[in-house]
Amino acid sequence: MAEGAENSGGKKKLFIIIAVVLVLLIGGGAGAWFMMGDSSSSDEEVAEAVETAEPAKLEPAYYVILPQPFIFNVTGDKRDRLVQVKVQLMVRGDSNESTAKQHIPLIESTLLQTFGAATVEQLRTMNGRTELSKQALSAVQDALNKVSGQKVVERVLFTGFVMQ
8-39: pLDDT as tens digits: 677 888 878 887 777 777 877 666 656 665 44
Residue 76 or residue 49, greater confidence: 76
Apex 38 CA angle, 32 and 42, nearest 5: 130
Domain spanning 61-163, CATH class: alpha beta
**pLDDT for position 74:** 85
In the predicted model, what is the mean pLDDT of the chain?
A: 80
Rg (CA), the chain: 33
Handedness of CA 41, 47, 50, 51 (dihedral sign): negative
Q: What are the tens digits of pLDDT across the range 89-125?
A: 999 999 999 999 999 999 999 999 999 888 888 888 8
Least confident of 2-6, 49-53, 146-150: 49-53
* Greater model confidence, 35 or 145: 145
Boundaries of every domain in the chain:
1-56, 61-163
